[in-house]
Amino acid sequence: MMGNIVKEKLFINGKWVETDTTHKIYNKYTGELFSEVCVADERLVDQAVEAAVYAHKNTLFLPEHRYTVLMRTAELLLESSEEFAKIIAQEGGKPITDAKVEVNRSISTLKIAADETKKLVGEIIPNYNVPGRFMYTVKKPVGVVAAITPFNFPLNLVVHKVAPALAAGNPVIIKPASDTATTAIKLCKLLEKAGVPNGYVQCVVGSGSTVGEQLLRDERIAHYTFTGSPAVGKHIRKTIGLRKATLELGSNSATIVHSDANVGKAAMRLAKMSFSHAGQICISVQRIFVQESIQEKFLEKFLKEVSLLKVGDPLDPDTDVGPMINENEAKRIEQWVREAKEGGAEILIGGTREGNIFHPTVITNVRKGMKVLDEEVFAPVVTVSAYRTIEEAIELVNDSKYGLQAGIYTSDLNLSYKIPYLLEVGGVIINDTCCYRVDQMPYGGVKESGNGKEGPSYAIQDLVETVTVVVNLED
């Protein structure tokens, strides 16, 4: 098997660098060796930062060139979309149908970011009270960007960090999740082919405790964009001081099903989005709150839809739920579910594990203090609880240390208008689940879900410096 495995190299300063130390990536369903990626040492990380700094200071990367690179990368990704989808399915365990969606979204994100290169303009500042002065602003790149990306969207979340950074004219250093690093390396090959200048894209693989820490300590890096756990996000914030960061952290996102909702449509959609990518999505549906008068009807339809989900091989186009990222994570959620059951919760369906596959699980009779309710499960587990009034539902949604997104099913227009002001979240999805995102929208949360926004046009706002220019016309 080893003889068929290509060793994927690191991308540093426009060159492909091979190292003796490698990280083995396994097919998440079969357990077979899928790829082997080189691992960066301290010297190579320093070289990557040095190359990025040099490029920022010495290499002209004009907006029209940025546009061309991003659009060409999108074209190349479209040409190799099937290859990328298969890679994501194998090294990430994502069902192939969902992997294809991720690739298509990444193509769209690249194009959206390309269009943003045309909008990086300043403004003339009106001068009402200071004669003899002309004032305006210009936008310039913030500097070197470190992009630390997770395993669950190994292509699109890399693109969401790399594309806005390049659109704004910043060099970017990618540190992908080691277990899905093949995808990020393949993306770098497309960027290289598209003509990105040397030093403007680097890819270094390694653990957070080594490569990640070195990047955090390096004061030559101006901005960090990170998707991951609140604990690591807090560590980043503490380490980097006044330097900028965009942090997309944890969540236990909720969806409300109100008494006036279309119960059938809500149940069908919630069954799909509660378990998409085995629940390993930041805005995955974790908490469902149903008005008590329709709870029985909802559960009947919801459980039926959940029972129809196919669990198995991600490469099978009929598969709805694939494996989790590794067996340790599957064992973790197995323990959390067991603890909830021992505490009085009821498992309505699922609750079983086979290796790193955890079957779709619905739990009721949960209460505060249970991890499946309070913490981010990041697994195919959802809780269902009843409420009496909409005020109670809002209170239940807000009773969380997280605040990324929430959804509500209702036909009440007045409620639809008011509820975004009442929910403590970064996004409110009306008549759909909390697990909804399109790539042009602003995306980010409050509380321990992080700060800053993704979505190319919104991310770019933090990736440029606004410089105020004042011209004295009297001399």
Active site residues: 248, 282
Q: 191: helix, coil or strand?
A: helix
Helix (H), strand (E) counts: the chain: 15, 25
Phi first, then psi, for residue 397 (nearest 5°) are: -60, -45
Tokens of 396: 């239940």
Give the Å distances, CA to CA, from 186 to 31, 90, 436, 450: 22, 14, 27, 29
Do residues 346 and 364 touch, judged by C-beta distance below 8 A? yes
Tell me, rounded to whole angstroms, the distance of Cα 95 from its chain centroid.
Answer: 17
Phi/psi for 164 (5° steps) reads -65, -35
Distance CA 431, CA 442 (A): 19
DSSP string, 93-124: ---HHHHHHHHHHHHHHHHHHHHHGGG----E
Q: Which residues lie below 8 Å from residue 312, measured CB to CB, with a gap of 6+?
A: 29, 319, 321, 322, 357
Task: Identify the helix (H) or strand (E) that includes residue 89.
Answer: helix 81-92
